[in-house]
Amino acid sequence: MPDHSIHKAGELPNEQRLLVERLLGRALADDETISVNAYRPHPAPAGDKREALRQEILIQARAIGSRAQDPNEEDLDALIDEATTAVRDRRD
């Protein structure tokens, strides 16, 4: 059986669409894509493997950050306000 499934919301049978909307806590738009993944739990990496993964994440983050333009304080404040509003709206 597959561990991954992708569907257009507008193509879902009504009962499946209602279930996904209940899980998300909001209505779906017909043009949205629904992606469902199933994962088996596994232990977190430890020791050297954990440190290697941490270093890899830091390298990737620095590479992404190096491509960013220097933001001004107003832009940063606007982004923080936008993110805060988006999180609050999802809770309601």
> Which pLDDT belongs to residue 1?
67
> Which pLDDT belongs to residue 91?
67
Domain ranges of the chain: 1-42, 43-92
> Does the model's pTM come out above 0.75?
no
How does pLDDT run across 11-36, given as a tens digit for each residue? 999 999 999 999 999 999 999 999 99
Q: Where are the alpha helices (DSSP H) in the chain?
A: 14-24, 47-66, 73-91
* Burial of 12: CB neighbours in 10 Å, binned 0-12, 13-18, 19+: middle
State the Cα–Cα distance between residues 64 and 50, nearest whole angstrom.
Answer: 21
> Which pLDDT belongs to residue 67?
84
| Helix, coil or strand: residue 10 | helix
Cβ atoms 31, 8 nearer than 8 A: yes
How does pLDDT run across 42-90, given as a tens digit for each residue? 899 999 999 999 999 999 999 988 887 777 888 888 989 999 998 888 7
State the Cα–Cα distance between residues 88 and 82, nearest whole angstrom.
Answer: 10
State the Cα–Cα distance between residues 35 and 37, nearest whole angstrom.
Answer: 7
Tokens of 1: 């059986």
